[in-house]
Chain A
Amino acid sequence: MIDLLGVKIYGDVTIGNFLIAIFIISFGVFLAKVLTTNLRRTLGDRIEKNQRELVLKVVYYIIVLVAFLTALPFLGLNPSGLLVAGGITGIVLGFASQSVVSNFISGIFILWEKPVKIGDQISVAGISGYVEDIGIMSTIVRTYDGLYVRIPNNTLFTSEITNLTGNVARRFEYVIGIRYSDDVDRAVEIIRGVIEKEPFALKNPAPAIFVNDLGDSSVNIVVRIWSPVQVWYDVKMALLSRIKEELEKNGIEIPFPQRVIWFANEPEMKHRRGE
Protein backbone atom coordinates (compact mmCIF):
# COMPACT_ATOMS: atom_id res chain seq x y z
CA MET A 1 0.00 0.00 0.00
CA ILE A 2 2.82 2.34 1.00
CA ASP A 3 4.61 1.41 -2.19
CA LEU A 4 1.50 2.28 -4.18
CA LEU A 5 1.33 5.69 -2.58
CA GLY A 6 4.96 6.23 -3.48
CA VAL A 7 4.43 5.58 -7.16
CA LYS A 8 5.32 8.65 -9.15
CA ILE A 9 2.70 10.07 -11.48
CA TYR A 10 4.80 12.78 -13.05
CA GLY A 11 8.03 14.47 -11.95
CA ASP A 12 8.38 14.06 -8.19
CA VAL A 13 4.62 13.96 -7.64
CA THR A 14 3.52 10.66 -6.21
CA ILE A 15 0.02 9.21 -5.86
CA GLY A 16 0.31 10.07 -2.15
CA ASN A 17 1.03 13.72 -2.94
CA PHE A 18 -1.85 13.75 -5.38
CA LEU A 19 -4.23 12.32 -2.77
CA ILE A 20 -3.02 14.83 -0.17
CA ALA A 21 -3.68 17.66 -2.64
CA ILE A 22 -7.17 16.32 -3.34
CA PHE A 23 -7.77 15.96 0.39
CA ILE A 24 -6.66 19.55 1.09
CA ILE A 25 -8.86 20.99 -1.66
CA SER A 26 -11.83 18.80 -0.64
CA PHE A 27 -11.33 19.76 2.99
CA GLY A 28 -11.12 23.42 1.99
CA VAL A 29 -14.39 23.20 0.03
CA PHE A 30 -16.01 21.28 2.89
CA LEU A 31 -14.79 23.82 5.44
CA ALA A 32 -15.96 26.72 3.26
CA LYS A 33 -19.41 25.17 2.90
CA VAL A 34 -19.76 24.43 6.61
CA LEU A 35 -18.55 27.87 7.56
CA THR A 36 -20.80 29.72 5.09
CA THR A 37 -23.80 27.61 6.10
CA ASN A 38 -23.24 28.44 9.75
CA LEU A 39 -22.51 32.05 8.94
CA ARG A 40 -25.76 32.29 6.94
CA ARG A 41 -27.65 30.83 9.91
CA THR A 42 -25.92 33.16 12.37
CA LEU A 43 -26.41 36.30 10.33
CA GLY A 44 -30.03 35.36 9.58
CA ASP A 45 -31.98 38.50 8.79
CA ARG A 46 -29.66 40.70 10.80
CA ILE A 47 -28.05 42.18 7.75
CA GLU A 48 -29.46 42.75 4.30
CA LYS A 49 -29.62 39.67 2.10
CA ASN A 50 -27.49 41.39 -0.51
CA GLN A 51 -24.66 42.14 1.93
CA ARG A 52 -24.98 38.74 3.57
CA GLU A 53 -24.60 36.89 0.26
CA LEU A 54 -21.58 39.05 -0.61
CA VAL A 55 -19.91 38.26 2.74
CA LEU A 56 -20.65 34.55 2.31
CA LYS A 57 -19.22 34.51 -1.21
CA VAL A 58 -16.05 36.30 -0.14
CA VAL A 59 -15.54 33.91 2.80
CA TYR A 60 -16.23 30.87 0.59
CA TYR A 61 -13.84 31.84 -2.19
CA ILE A 62 -11.07 32.94 0.18
CA ILE A 63 -11.11 29.55 1.95
CA VAL A 64 -11.19 27.65 -1.34
CA LEU A 65 -8.34 29.79 -2.71
CA VAL A 66 -6.22 29.23 0.38
CA ALA A 67 -6.85 25.46 0.15
CA PHE A 68 -5.99 25.46 -3.54
CA LEU A 69 -2.74 27.38 -2.98
CA THR A 70 -1.85 25.05 -0.10
CA ALA A 71 -2.42 22.02 -2.33
CA LEU A 72 -0.37 23.31 -5.26
CA PRO A 73 3.11 22.32 -3.89
CA PHE A 74 1.89 18.73 -3.50
CA LEU A 75 1.10 18.74 -7.19
CA GLY A 76 4.62 19.91 -7.95
CA LEU A 77 3.55 23.46 -8.69
CA ASN A 78 5.17 26.36 -6.98
CA PRO A 79 2.82 29.37 -6.93
CA SER A 80 5.75 31.80 -6.87
CA GLY A 81 7.20 29.98 -9.85
CA LEU A 82 3.89 30.33 -11.65
CA LEU A 83 4.18 34.08 -11.42
CA VAL A 84 7.58 33.98 -13.10
CA ALA A 85 6.54 31.40 -15.62
CA GLY A 86 3.43 33.37 -16.49
CA GLY A 87 4.83 35.20 -19.51
CA ILE A 88 3.54 34.07 -22.81
CA THR A 89 1.36 31.38 -21.24
CA GLY A 90 -0.43 34.06 -19.31
CA ILE A 91 -1.01 36.13 -22.42
CA VAL A 92 -2.32 33.11 -24.31
CA LEU A 93 -4.55 32.14 -21.41
CA GLY A 94 -5.62 35.77 -21.11
CA PHE A 95 -6.83 35.88 -24.70
CA ALA A 96 -8.48 32.48 -24.38
CA SER A 97 -10.29 33.46 -21.22
CA GLN A 98 -11.10 36.99 -22.30
CA SER A 99 -14.85 36.72 -21.79
CA VAL A 100 -14.38 34.90 -18.49
CA VAL A 101 -12.07 37.61 -17.20
CA SER A 102 -14.36 40.29 -18.60
CA ASN A 103 -17.34 38.81 -16.75
CA PHE A 104 -15.25 38.43 -13.60
CA ILE A 105 -14.04 42.03 -13.64
CA SER A 106 -17.56 43.25 -14.44
CA GLY A 107 -18.84 41.18 -11.51
CA ILE A 108 -16.39 42.88 -9.17
CA PHE A 109 -17.42 46.31 -10.45
CA ILE A 110 -21.12 45.45 -10.08
CA LEU A 111 -20.56 44.33 -6.50
CA TRP A 112 -18.54 47.50 -5.88
CA GLU A 113 -20.80 49.99 -7.64
CA LYS A 114 -24.04 48.25 -6.56
CA PRO A 115 -26.35 49.43 -9.33
CA VAL A 116 -28.54 46.48 -8.37
CA LYS A 117 -29.07 44.47 -5.20
CA ILE A 118 -30.53 41.04 -4.60
CA GLY A 119 -34.30 41.43 -4.46
CA ASP A 120 -34.37 44.55 -6.65
CA GLN A 121 -36.64 44.68 -9.65
CA ILE A 122 -34.64 45.60 -12.72
CA SER A 123 -35.00 45.99 -16.43
CA VAL A 124 -31.84 45.30 -18.39
CA ALA A 125 -31.07 44.17 -21.94
CA GLY A 126 -34.78 43.62 -22.61
CA ILE A 127 -35.23 41.47 -19.51
CA SER A 128 -37.33 42.57 -16.54
CA GLY A 129 -37.68 40.82 -13.22
CA TYR A 130 -36.30 40.26 -9.74
CA VAL A 131 -32.56 39.94 -9.08
CA GLU A 132 -32.19 36.50 -7.52
CA ASP A 133 -28.42 36.36 -7.20
CA ILE A 134 -25.36 38.38 -8.15
CA GLY A 135 -22.46 36.06 -8.83
CA ILE A 136 -18.88 36.73 -9.74
CA MET A 137 -19.50 35.70 -13.36
CA SER A 138 -23.19 36.24 -13.92
CA THR A 139 -26.37 37.63 -12.42
CA ILE A 140 -29.55 35.63 -12.10
CA VAL A 141 -32.86 37.32 -12.82
CA ARG A 142 -36.28 35.78 -12.22
CA THR A 143 -38.62 37.35 -14.74
CA TYR A 144 -42.15 38.37 -13.76
CA ASP A 145 -43.51 35.27 -15.48
CA GLY A 146 -41.17 33.06 -13.43
CA LEU A 147 -38.42 32.38 -15.95
CA TYR A 148 -34.80 31.89 -14.88
CA VAL A 149 -32.49 34.18 -16.83
CA ARG A 150 -28.72 34.21 -16.44
CA ILE A 151 -27.19 37.48 -17.55
CA PRO A 152 -23.39 37.51 -17.97
CA ASN A 153 -21.98 40.25 -15.78
CA ASN A 154 -20.27 41.87 -18.76
CA THR A 155 -23.64 42.28 -20.48
CA LEU A 156 -25.17 43.61 -17.27
CA PHE A 157 -22.35 46.03 -16.63
CA THR A 158 -22.24 47.46 -20.15
CA SER A 159 -26.03 47.71 -20.54
CA GLU A 160 -28.36 50.43 -19.46
CA ILE A 161 -29.82 49.19 -16.18
CA THR A 162 -33.17 50.46 -14.95
CA ASN A 163 -33.57 49.66 -11.30
CA LEU A 164 -37.32 49.80 -10.71
CA THR A 165 -36.95 49.62 -6.94
CA GLY A 166 -33.67 51.48 -6.45
CA ASN A 167 -35.29 54.45 -4.71
CA VAL A 168 -37.49 54.46 -1.63
CA ALA A 169 -40.50 55.90 -3.44
CA ARG A 170 -41.75 56.11 -6.99
CA ARG A 171 -44.50 57.82 -8.91
CA PHE A 172 -47.25 56.41 -11.08
CA GLU A 173 -49.83 58.14 -13.20
CA TYR A 174 -53.41 57.77 -14.40
CA VAL A 175 -55.22 59.69 -17.11
CA ILE A 176 -58.90 59.88 -16.26
CA GLY A 177 -61.32 61.26 -18.85
CA ILE A 178 -64.62 62.83 -17.78
CA ARG A 179 -67.49 64.26 -19.82
CA TYR A 180 -67.39 67.87 -20.92
CA SER A 181 -70.66 68.36 -19.07
CA ASP A 182 -69.17 67.21 -15.75
CA ASP A 183 -67.84 69.57 -13.09
CA VAL A 184 -64.05 69.36 -13.28
CA ASP A 185 -63.45 70.86 -9.83
CA ARG A 186 -65.84 68.37 -8.27
CA ALA A 187 -64.11 65.48 -10.06
CA VAL A 188 -60.70 66.66 -8.83
CA GLU A 189 -62.07 66.95 -5.29
CA ILE A 190 -63.47 63.40 -5.43
CA ILE A 191 -60.22 61.97 -6.79
CA ARG A 192 -58.28 63.82 -4.08
CA GLY A 193 -60.58 62.38 -1.44
CA VAL A 194 -60.01 58.81 -2.65
CA ILE A 195 -56.24 59.31 -2.70
CA GLU A 196 -56.29 60.83 0.78
CA LYS A 197 -57.92 57.66 2.13
CA GLU A 198 -55.17 55.42 0.69
CA PRO A 199 -52.43 55.11 3.34
CA PHE A 200 -49.64 54.41 0.88
CA ALA A 201 -50.48 57.29 -1.47
CA LEU A 202 -47.83 59.53 0.05
CA LYS A 203 -48.75 62.81 1.68
CA ASN A 204 -45.44 64.24 0.57
CA PRO A 205 -44.60 64.54 -2.33
CA ALA A 206 -48.23 65.53 -2.63
CA PRO A 207 -50.34 63.95 -5.35
CA ALA A 208 -50.81 66.13 -8.44
CA ILE A 209 -54.27 66.23 -10.02
CA PHE A 210 -54.87 68.54 -12.95
CA VAL A 211 -56.61 68.87 -16.32
CA ASN A 212 -53.97 67.99 -18.85
CA ASP A 213 -55.84 67.77 -22.11
CA LEU A 214 -59.16 68.69 -23.69
CA GLY A 215 -59.62 65.52 -25.72
CA ASP A 216 -61.99 64.69 -28.56
CA SER A 217 -64.49 63.01 -26.28
CA SER A 218 -63.38 63.82 -22.75
CA VAL A 219 -61.68 66.26 -20.44
CA ASN A 220 -58.54 64.38 -19.43
CA ILE A 221 -57.41 64.68 -15.84
CA VAL A 222 -53.89 63.55 -15.01
CA VAL A 223 -53.37 62.04 -11.56
CA ARG A 224 -49.80 61.59 -10.31
CA ILE A 225 -49.24 59.72 -7.06
CA TRP A 226 -46.09 58.85 -5.14
CA SER A 227 -45.96 55.59 -3.24
CA PRO A 228 -43.38 53.56 -1.27
CA VAL A 229 -41.53 51.40 -3.73
CA GLN A 230 -42.42 48.15 -1.93
CA VAL A 231 -46.13 48.67 -2.50
CA TRP A 232 -46.44 51.02 -5.48
CA TYR A 233 -47.85 48.41 -7.86
CA ASP A 234 -50.48 47.26 -5.33
CA VAL A 235 -51.53 50.86 -4.81
CA LYS A 236 -51.59 51.49 -8.55
CA MET A 237 -53.81 48.47 -9.13
CA ALA A 238 -56.20 49.29 -6.28
CA LEU A 239 -56.67 53.04 -6.63
CA LEU A 240 -57.95 53.38 -10.19
CA SER A 241 -61.02 51.22 -9.67
CA ARG A 242 -61.78 53.06 -6.41
CA ILE A 243 -61.53 56.41 -8.22
CA LYS A 244 -63.85 55.14 -10.97
CA GLU A 245 -66.39 53.88 -8.43
CA GLU A 246 -66.35 57.12 -6.47
CA LEU A 247 -66.70 59.27 -9.59
CA GLU A 248 -69.64 57.21 -10.81
CA LYS A 249 -71.24 57.32 -7.38
CA ASN A 250 -71.19 61.10 -7.68
CA GLY A 251 -72.67 61.15 -11.17
CA ILE A 252 -69.41 61.84 -12.99
CA GLU A 253 -68.96 59.50 -15.91
CA ILE A 254 -65.98 58.39 -17.91
CA PRO A 255 -67.26 58.79 -21.48
CA PHE A 256 -66.88 56.46 -24.43
CA PRO A 257 -65.12 57.96 -27.42
CA GLN A 258 -67.80 59.72 -29.47
CA ARG A 259 -68.05 61.96 -32.48
CA VAL A 260 -70.86 64.37 -33.30
CA ILE A 261 -71.47 64.56 -37.06
CA TRP A 262 -73.25 67.55 -38.58
CA PHE A 263 -74.54 67.10 -42.10
CA ALA A 264 -73.95 70.14 -44.27
CA ASN A 265 -77.39 69.82 -45.94
CA GLU A 266 -79.26 69.09 -42.73
CA PRO A 267 -81.77 72.03 -43.03
CA GLU A 268 -82.73 70.83 -46.50
CA MET A 269 -83.22 67.26 -45.27
CA LYS A 270 -85.41 68.50 -42.43
CA HIS A 271 -87.46 70.50 -44.96
CA ARG A 272 -87.96 67.42 -47.14
CA ARG A 273 -89.14 65.45 -44.11
CA GLY A 274 -91.66 68.24 -43.58
CA GLU A 275 -90.26 69.41 -40.27
Chain B
Amino acid sequence: MKVGYGVYPLQEMELKFGRHTLRIVKESEVFRYIRESKDGRVEKVLASREGKIAVNPVEPVNLPKNVTNYLEINFKNTLLIEPGHRKTFFTTFPVEIGVFTTGKGDIELIDVFSNVNLKYSLYGDPRNGVVCRYWESELYTNLPERNPLEEGIMRISIRNNFGEWVEVSRAVFNVYLMKIYYSDEMVFSNAEMEILSKVSAETKFLMDTMRDGMRKSVEVFTPRKVPVVTKRFFMEWGV
Protein backbone atom coordinates (compact mmCIF):
# COMPACT_ATOMS: atom_id res chain seq x y z
CA MET B 1 0.00 0.00 0.00
CA LYS B 2 1.43 3.38 -1.04
CA VAL B 3 1.07 6.58 0.92
CA GLY B 4 1.50 9.93 -0.76
CA TYR B 5 0.46 12.39 -3.37
CA GLY B 6 1.59 11.95 -6.93
CA VAL B 7 0.78 10.81 -10.41
CA TYR B 8 0.28 7.11 -10.95
CA PRO B 9 -0.37 5.03 -14.05
CA LEU B 10 -3.95 3.80 -14.26
CA GLN B 11 -3.61 0.29 -12.95
CA GLU B 12 -4.63 -1.81 -9.97
CA MET B 13 -3.38 -0.15 -6.80
CA GLU B 14 -4.23 0.84 -3.28
CA LEU B 15 -3.38 4.17 -1.64
CA LYS B 16 -3.88 5.31 1.92
CA PHE B 17 -4.67 8.94 2.72
CA GLY B 18 -5.35 9.33 6.42
CA ARG B 19 -8.67 7.70 7.16
CA HIS B 20 -9.42 7.24 3.46
CA THR B 21 -8.35 4.26 1.41
CA LEU B 22 -8.29 4.54 -2.37
CA ARG B 23 -8.35 1.48 -4.57
CA ILE B 24 -8.26 1.03 -8.32
CA VAL B 25 -9.53 -2.36 -9.41
CA LYS B 26 -9.40 -3.62 -12.97
CA GLU B 27 -12.52 -5.34 -14.27
CA SER B 28 -12.38 -6.70 -17.82
CA GLU B 29 -12.27 -3.54 -19.96
CA VAL B 30 -12.78 -0.92 -17.25
CA PHE B 31 -11.28 0.26 -13.99
CA ARG B 32 -13.22 0.71 -10.82
CA TYR B 33 -12.27 3.59 -8.50
CA ILE B 34 -13.22 2.93 -4.89
CA ARG B 35 -12.69 5.22 -1.90
CA GLU B 36 -13.61 3.94 1.52
CA SER B 37 -13.61 5.63 4.91
CA LYS B 38 -15.70 5.45 8.03
CA ASP B 39 -17.95 8.09 6.44
CA GLY B 40 -18.87 5.81 3.56
CA ARG B 41 -17.86 4.56 0.16
CA VAL B 42 -17.49 6.27 -3.20
CA GLU B 43 -17.34 4.14 -6.31
CA LYS B 44 -16.88 5.19 -9.92
CA VAL B 45 -16.18 3.30 -13.13
CA LEU B 46 -13.36 4.62 -15.33
CA ALA B 47 -13.61 3.64 -18.98
CA SER B 48 -10.08 4.28 -20.19
CA ARG B 49 -7.51 2.06 -21.88
CA GLU B 50 -4.50 3.79 -20.51
CA GLY B 51 -4.20 6.93 -18.51
CA LYS B 52 -2.94 8.32 -15.27
CA ILE B 53 -4.31 9.03 -11.85
CA ALA B 54 -3.19 12.21 -10.13
CA VAL B 55 -3.81 12.58 -6.40
CA ASN B 56 -2.93 15.97 -4.98
CA PRO B 57 -4.15 18.69 -2.63
CA VAL B 58 -6.70 21.04 -4.20
CA GLU B 59 -8.30 24.38 -3.34
CA PRO B 60 -10.12 23.84 -0.03
CA VAL B 61 -13.63 24.88 -1.06
CA ASN B 62 -15.06 21.72 -2.62
CA LEU B 63 -16.54 19.89 0.35
CA PRO B 64 -19.25 18.92 1.25
CA LYS B 65 -20.20 20.73 -1.95
CA ASN B 66 -18.91 23.81 -3.67
CA VAL B 67 -20.85 26.93 -2.69
CA THR B 68 -18.03 29.47 -2.74
CA ASN B 69 -14.57 30.34 -4.05
CA TYR B 70 -13.35 32.06 -0.93
CA LEU B 71 -11.17 30.96 1.95
CA GLU B 72 -11.06 32.77 5.28
CA ILE B 73 -8.14 32.14 7.60
CA ASN B 74 -8.86 33.46 11.05
CA PHE B 75 -5.72 34.17 13.06
CA LYS B 76 -5.91 32.79 16.59
CA ASN B 77 -3.35 35.35 17.71
CA THR B 78 -4.21 38.84 16.46
CA LEU B 79 -1.40 40.72 14.74
CA LEU B 80 -0.65 44.39 15.36
CA ILE B 81 1.48 45.81 12.57
CA GLU B 82 3.09 49.23 12.40
CA PRO B 83 2.77 51.60 9.41
CA GLY B 84 4.97 50.78 6.43
CA HIS B 85 6.14 47.50 7.93
CA ARG B 86 6.29 44.18 6.05
CA LYS B 87 6.58 40.85 7.77
CA THR B 88 6.32 37.28 6.56
CA PHE B 89 4.41 34.71 8.63
CA PHE B 90 3.24 31.16 8.20
CA THR B 91 -0.32 29.99 8.69
CA THR B 92 -2.00 26.70 8.01
CA PHE B 93 -4.87 25.99 5.65
CA PRO B 94 -7.19 22.97 5.35
CA VAL B 95 -6.22 20.35 2.83
CA GLU B 96 -8.73 18.80 0.48
CA ILE B 97 -7.41 15.98 -1.65
CA GLY B 98 -8.48 15.74 -5.27
CA VAL B 99 -8.27 12.66 -7.45
CA PHE B 100 -7.97 13.32 -11.17
CA THR B 101 -7.79 11.08 -14.18
CA THR B 102 -6.01 11.92 -17.38
CA GLY B 103 -6.01 10.13 -20.64
CA LYS B 104 -6.82 11.29 -24.10
CA GLY B 105 -8.10 14.84 -23.87
CA ASP B 106 -8.81 16.81 -20.77
CA ILE B 107 -8.03 16.11 -17.15
CA GLU B 108 -11.09 15.18 -15.12
CA LEU B 109 -11.81 15.39 -11.41
CA ILE B 110 -13.03 12.06 -10.03
CA ASP B 111 -13.30 12.69 -6.34
CA VAL B 112 -12.46 15.08 -3.51
CA PHE B 113 -12.13 14.19 0.16
CA SER B 114 -10.59 15.57 3.31
CA ASN B 115 -9.25 14.46 6.66
CA VAL B 116 -10.19 17.64 8.54
CA ASN B 117 -13.41 19.17 9.79
CA LEU B 118 -15.29 21.40 7.38
CA LYS B 119 -16.76 24.74 8.35
CA TYR B 120 -18.00 27.78 6.47
CA SER B 121 -18.49 31.40 7.46
CA LEU B 122 -19.81 34.67 6.11
CA TYR B 123 -17.38 37.52 5.51
CA GLY B 124 -19.29 40.79 5.32
CA ASP B 125 -23.03 41.17 5.42
CA PRO B 126 -25.63 38.78 3.97
CA ARG B 127 -26.38 41.15 1.09
CA ASN B 128 -22.91 41.99 -0.20
CA GLY B 129 -20.61 39.65 1.68
CA VAL B 130 -19.14 36.34 0.61
CA VAL B 131 -19.46 32.88 2.06
CA CYS B 132 -16.01 31.49 2.86
CA ARG B 133 -14.46 28.22 3.85
CA TYR B 134 -13.52 28.92 7.45
CA TRP B 135 -10.23 27.94 9.03
CA GLU B 136 -8.47 28.96 12.22
CA SER B 137 -4.71 29.11 12.44
CA GLU B 138 -1.92 30.54 14.52
CA LEU B 139 0.37 33.09 12.89
CA TYR B 140 3.74 31.38 13.03
CA THR B 141 7.03 33.15 12.60
CA ASN B 142 8.84 29.89 11.84
CA LEU B 143 7.82 27.15 9.46
CA PRO B 144 5.53 24.81 11.42
CA GLU B 145 5.41 21.07 10.80
CA ARG B 146 2.06 19.74 9.81
CA ASN B 147 0.59 16.49 8.49
CA PRO B 148 0.40 17.17 4.72
CA LEU B 149 -2.71 14.99 4.49
CA GLU B 150 -4.55 17.39 6.81
CA GLU B 151 -3.04 20.86 6.77
CA GLY B 152 -1.08 22.90 4.31
CA ILE B 153 1.37 25.66 5.14
CA MET B 154 0.74 29.10 3.74
CA ARG B 155 3.51 31.66 3.68
CA ILE B 156 1.86 35.04 3.95
CA SER B 157 3.63 38.32 3.54
CA ILE B 158 1.71 41.07 5.33
CA ARG B 159 2.49 44.68 4.49
CA ASN B 160 0.90 47.67 6.18
CA ASN B 161 0.50 50.40 3.58
CA PHE B 162 -1.71 52.44 5.90
CA GLY B 163 -0.32 55.31 7.93
CA GLU B 164 -1.36 53.91 11.31
CA TRP B 165 -1.00 50.76 13.34
CA VAL B 166 -3.49 48.12 12.21
CA GLU B 167 -4.90 45.09 14.01
CA VAL B 168 -5.12 42.08 11.71
CA SER B 169 -7.16 39.05 12.71
CA ARG B 170 -7.96 37.37 9.42
CA ALA B 171 -7.19 37.03 5.75
CA VAL B 172 -9.73 36.24 3.06
CA PHE B 173 -8.64 34.86 -0.30
CA ASN B 174 -10.25 34.12 -3.62
CA VAL B 175 -9.08 30.60 -4.38
CA TYR B 176 -9.11 31.25 -8.09
CA LEU B 177 -5.42 31.48 -8.87
CA MET B 178 -4.47 29.68 -5.65
CA LYS B 179 -1.31 27.76 -6.42
CA ILE B 180 -0.68 24.71 -4.27
CA TYR B 181 2.61 22.83 -4.25
CA TYR B 182 3.21 19.51 -2.58
CA SER B 183 5.86 17.02 -1.60
CA ASP B 184 5.75 14.00 0.69
CA GLU B 185 6.47 16.27 3.65
CA MET B 186 4.54 19.42 2.95
CA VAL B 187 1.62 21.07 1.18
CA PHE B 188 2.44 24.69 0.48
CA SER B 189 0.90 27.89 -0.84
CA ASN B 190 2.26 31.41 -1.01
CA ALA B 191 0.21 34.57 -0.48
CA GLU B 192 0.44 38.27 0.10
CA MET B 193 -1.72 40.71 2.04
CA GLU B 194 -1.53 44.47 1.66
CA ILE B 195 -3.31 46.46 4.31
CA LEU B 196 -4.96 49.56 2.91
CA SER B 197 -6.80 50.91 5.96
CA LYS B 198 -7.97 49.88 9.41
CA VAL B 199 -10.73 47.77 7.82
CA SER B 200 -9.58 46.92 4.32
CA ALA B 201 -6.82 44.98 2.63
CA GLU B 202 -5.98 43.21 -0.59
CA THR B 203 -4.90 39.60 -0.77
CA LYS B 204 -3.48 37.57 -3.59
CA PHE B 205 -1.73 34.29 -4.21
CA LEU B 206 1.83 34.14 -5.46
CA MET B 207 3.34 31.55 -7.76
CA ASP B 208 6.51 30.83 -5.77
CA THR B 209 7.13 27.46 -4.22
CA MET B 210 8.77 26.79 -0.88
CA ARG B 211 11.49 24.37 -1.88
CA ASP B 212 12.91 22.98 -5.05
CA GLY B 213 11.41 19.68 -6.07
CA MET B 214 7.90 20.42 -4.92
CA ARG B 215 5.23 19.52 -7.48
CA LYS B 216 2.46 21.85 -8.50
CA SER B 217 -1.05 20.56 -7.85
CA VAL B 218 -3.60 20.09 -10.58
CA GLU B 219 -6.23 22.76 -9.89
CA VAL B 220 -9.98 22.30 -9.69
CA PHE B 221 -10.63 26.00 -10.22
CA THR B 222 -9.21 27.78 -13.19
CA PRO B 223 -10.15 31.25 -14.37
CA ARG B 224 -12.57 30.12 -17.06
CA LYS B 225 -15.05 32.93 -16.59
CA VAL B 226 -15.12 35.66 -19.22
CA PRO B 227 -14.91 38.63 -16.84
CA VAL B 228 -11.26 39.03 -16.04
CA VAL B 229 -10.64 37.23 -12.79
CA THR B 230 -8.75 39.65 -10.67
CA LYS B 231 -5.63 38.29 -9.07
CA ARG B 232 -6.48 40.13 -5.88
CA PHE B 233 -9.32 39.96 -3.40
CA PHE B 234 -10.35 43.22 -1.81
CA MET B 235 -11.18 42.71 1.86
CA GLU B 236 -13.58 45.56 2.51
CA TRP B 237 -15.44 44.28 5.57
CA GLY B 238 -12.64 44.22 8.09
CA VAL B 239 -9.19 42.71 8.56
Contacts and interface: CB of A to CB of B under 8 A. Distances in A.
Contacts of A226: 122, 126
A91 to B, nearest CB: 44
Contacts of B131: 168-169, 202, 228
Q: Is the interface of A mostly helix, strand, loop or mixed?
A: loop
B224 A230 contact: no
Given A46-B224, A230-B67, A199 B120 contact: yes
A167 to B, nearest CB: 4
Q: How large is the interface on A (under 10, 10 to 19, 20 to 34, 35 or more residues)?
A: 20 to 34
A59 to B, nearest CB: 15
B38 interface: no
A157 interface: no
Interface in A198-214: 199-200, 202-205
B64 A169 contact: no
B227 A168 contact: no
A231 interface: yes
Nearest to B134: A203
Given A199-B119, A199-B120, A202-B131, A169 B68 contact: no
Interface in B193-230: 224-227
Contacts of A199: 63-64, 117-120
A203 B119 contact: yes
Interface residues of B, number: 22
B118 A168 contact: no
B77 interface: no
Contact of B121 (A45, A170, A204): A204
A88 interface: no
B127 interface: yes
Nearest to A52: B226
A169 B126 contact: yes
A47 B127 contact: no
Given A47-B227, A169-B131, A228-B68, A203 B120 contact: yes
A168 B119 contact: no
B130 interface: yes
Contact of B64 (A167, A200, A203): A200
A43 interface: yes
A169 B121 CA distance: 10
A10 B68 CA distance: 63
Contact of A228 (B67, B127, B225, B227): B67
Contact of A200 (B67, B127, B224, B225): B67
Contacts of B68: 228
Given A46-B224, A169-B131, 7 more contacts: A43-B226, A47-B227, A168-B122, A199-B64, A203-B121, A204-B123, A228-B131
